[in-house]
Amino acid sequence: MLVAPSLQELAQSRGAARVAVACGVFDGVHRGHRKILRSLLELASAKGAIPTVLTFDPHPRSVLAAFGSPPLLTEREQQLELLAECGIEAVVLVRFTREVAAWSATRFVRHCLLAEPGQLAGVCVGSKWRFGAGGEGDVGLLELFGRNHGFSVVSVPEFQWYGKPVSSTRIRARIQAGELSAANRMLGRCHAVRGQVLHGRGIGGARLHCPTANLSAAPVVHPPGGVYAARIAVDLAPPPARRKALPGAVYIGSAPTIEGVESSEQYIECHIFDFHENLYGQRIDVQFVEFIREGRAFAGEQGLADQIVRDLARIREVLGSGG
């Protein structure tokens, strides 16, 4: 995938000629976004142009909101991979600052979309998309620019789920409430947290008979603490690595039952069924499928170990991974 800070840079340095562009934040690349992207691919095909997403770095709310943006649904690396899976060939990451936020709608169009003459074949946006300071620009203004500068504009109606538009905010709220089924259906996939596998204390395998990979997770939205059925995407050896999602269990929370471990420290621990390869240093994706139970303290390690056996049996049932 081609990635550049502007359409002009895309044309001059990356060899991208005519482009059709979808504009937006695209956090999560959820079903509402995918509806826009499908329209973009149709537009690009009709125009003989490269399907391109124009988005912002960092998230605009992290610059404009008094307390910063809420945790994102996807980190940038995940977002780019999801866009590529949808057929997007290029992404423009516009650096978002307070100066950019103060641009008029006209300046935004001229600077971000029309800087390279003859490059823009069309623009695809959600029907409610706004741009420019105070959200002064709308689809109508974009269509006026299109008529004056020779590019097409496609306005895509919002994707509705249970009578309401699907949005990143709505999905985030469901994840934080532990309502994974609803969140995953709006995403069109399982919510995933990516992180690097670190060395832990060795307690899971040695004392609880359940070896785990300890994850240093990216700062994206997490579901509440507890035990989850999950699929864990890892790179399998030998080279060349093969990315595969394997069934397993995930625990989010502290370790209140284990003596000598700080009870306020939060962990993400992954157990992959029937898996014995070394994952240290690898970046893996935890795909949350279903909530199993809340975390709690047990009378001792044996009580916790017995509960883990029951949890794993339940998770195998949920995931249909067999005995």
**What pLDDT digit, counting tens, does each position of 279-294 carry?**
888 999 999 999 999 9
- Is residue 146 situated within a structural domain? yes
Q: Please say whether the beta carbons of 59 and 72 come within 8 A.
A: yes
For residue 140, give its domain range: 2-168
Same domain, 59 and 115: yes
| Percent of the chain whose predicted confidence (pLDDT) is above 70 | 90
Residue 200 and residue 294 share a domain = yes
Is residue 53 located within the same domain as residue 145? yes
Residues 162 and 206 in one domain: no
110 and 11, same structural domain? yes
pLDDT tens-place string over residues 55-81? 999 998 888 877 777 889 999 999 999
Indicate whether 91 and 138 sit together in one domain.
yes
Per the listing, tokens 């394997």 go with 246
Task: Examine the pLDDT at 307 and tell me if it is beyond 80.
Answer: yes
Judgement on whether residues 117 and 236 belong to the same structural domain of the protein: no
Query: Does residue 322 carry a pLDDT above 50?
Result: no
Least confident span in 89-98, 150-159, 172-181, 199-208: 199-208
183 inside domain: no
At 162, which CATH number? 3.40.50.620
The pLDDT mean for the chain works out to: 90
**175 within domain boundaries:** no
Task: Clarify whether residues 11 and 152 are in a common domain.
Answer: yes
The CATH code of the domain that includes 281 is 2.40.30.30
What's the average model confidence in pLDDT over 156-178? Answer: 96
What pLDDT is stored for residue 208 in this prediction?
Answer: 59
Residue 272 and residue 200 share a domain:
yes
Inside any domain, residue 174: no
Same domain for 90 and 18, yes or no, is yes
Is the pLDDT at 20 greater than 80, yes or no?
yes
214 φ/ψ angles, rounded to the nearest 5 degrees: -90, 130
The counts of H helices and E strands in the chain are 11, 14
What is the structure's pLDDT at 323?
A: 41
Domain contains 133: yes
Domains: count for the chain: 2
Residue 267 has a pLDDT of 78
Identify whether 181 is part of a domain.
Answer: no
Tens digits of residue pLDDT in 22-67: 999 999 999 999 999 999 999 999 999 999 999 999 998 888 877 7
Q: Give the end of a domain, one of 132, 153, 168.
A: 168
For residue 205, is pLDDT > 60?
no
Q: What is the DSSP string of 236-287?
A: ESSSSPEEEEEEEEEEEE--TTSTTS-TT--EEEEEETT-----TT-EEEEE
Q: What is the mean pLDDT of residues 238-251?
A: 85
The verdict on 152 and 236 lying in the same domain is no
Task: Output the pTM of the full model.
Answer: 0.90
